[in-house]
């Protein structure tokens, strides 16, 4: 659950929001609608913590994880497709990389062994051993074949980068999923798959889109 209490935002001398009170609950897909320039994308940035409200609070349930669709299509050029997707679960990815770095050490110490055991426990609790198979299945569902999974992001066409970033946002079934214009750059087949995916999604989805057909297909509630 995510709760917005008495939120206001004064942005560059303009009052975008004033005394906003909202509660988002699992099992719903919320469409954020409004005119261009009304602050829809800004609202998602507030929820994500990229922007601080002028007044009020935004709170999530304990241990809940939030994920969002990156708008920077060139922000992961130095990573493989697989690593880019798994980075959607930041804590899991950090554990993976720390674990790999420890095992790669030539002077692996007793302290390293203790730390590695701790990381292995956390990794297993997060279902880390299924991370790559799950990411692979998600990518294939979006039309990114197995032959591309270990390519560098810099090698992909932009239309494929868009799909990989969508997979990143969806990876690991986050408790709160923020999607800003998720259909941009997607083909009809992929949009249809995403509609079906979100229709069955058990957690919270908050989406901004100019695609009214898409909103009608996936949203259970709207916020204006």
What is the structure's pLDDT at 15?
Answer: 85
What is the structure's pLDDT at 16?
Answer: 82
* pLDDT tens-digit series, residues 124-139: 999 999 999 999 999 9
* 103 found inside a domain: no
- CATH code: domain of residue 213: 3.40.50.300
Question: How many structural domains compose the chain?
Answer: 1
Report whether 214 contacts 193 (CB < 8 A): no
Q: How many other C-beta atoms lie within 10 A of the C-beta of residue 124? A: 10
Using DSSP, how many helices (H) and how many strands (E) does the chain show? Answer: 8, 8
What is the structure's pLDDT at 11?
Answer: 77
* 149 found inside a domain: no
List, as one string, the DSSP characters of 161-222: HHHHHHHHHHTT--SEEEEESTTTT--HHHHHHHHHHHHT--SEEEEE-S-HHHHHHH-SEE
SS (H, E, C) 68-90: ECCCCCCCCCCCEHHHHHHCCCH
* 55 found inside a domain: yes
Report whether 182 contacts 207 (CB < 8 A): yes
* 60 found inside a domain: yes
Apex 42 CA angle, 41 and 46, nearest 5: 120
The structure's pTM equals 0.91
- Token pair for residue 120? 């292995």
Alpha-carbon radius of gyration of the chain: 19
* pLDDT tens-digit series, residues 22-62: 999 999 999 998 777 768 889 999 999 999 999 999 999 88
| Domain with 33 in it | 2-64+175-223
* 77 found inside a domain: no
Positions in the chain short of pLDDT 50? none
* 196 found inside a domain: yes
* 209 found inside a domain: yes
* 73 found inside a domain: no
Identify the DSSP state of 123.
H
């Amino acid at each position: 659950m995510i709760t917005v209490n008495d939120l206001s935002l004064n942005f560059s001398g303009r009052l975008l929001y004033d005394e906003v009170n909202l509660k988002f609950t699992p099992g719903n897909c919320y469409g954020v609608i409004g005119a261009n320039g009304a602050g829809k994308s800004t609202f998602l940035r507030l929820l994500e913590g990229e922007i601080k409200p002028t007044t009020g609070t935004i709170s999530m349930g304990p241990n809940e994880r939030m994920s969002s669709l990156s708008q920077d299509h060139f922000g992961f050029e130095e990573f493989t497709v697989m690593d880019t997707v798994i980075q959607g679960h930041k804590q899991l990815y950090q554990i993976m990389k720390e674990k790999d770095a420890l095992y790669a050490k030539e002077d692996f110490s007793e302290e390293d062994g203790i730390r590695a055991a701790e990381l292995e426990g956390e990794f297993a609790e997060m279902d880390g051993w299924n991370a790559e198979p799950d990411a692979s299945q998600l990518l294939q569902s979006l039309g990114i074949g197995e032959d591309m999974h270990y390519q560098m992001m810099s090698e992909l066409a932009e239309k494929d980068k868009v799909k990989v970033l969508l997979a990143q946002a969806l990876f690991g079934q986050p408790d709160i999923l923020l999607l800003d214009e998720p259909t941009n750059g997607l083909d009809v087949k992929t949009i249809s798959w995403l509609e079906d995916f979100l229709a069955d999604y058990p957690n919270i989805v908050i989406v901004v889109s100019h695609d009214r057909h898409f909103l009608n297909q996936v949203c259970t509630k709207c916020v204006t």
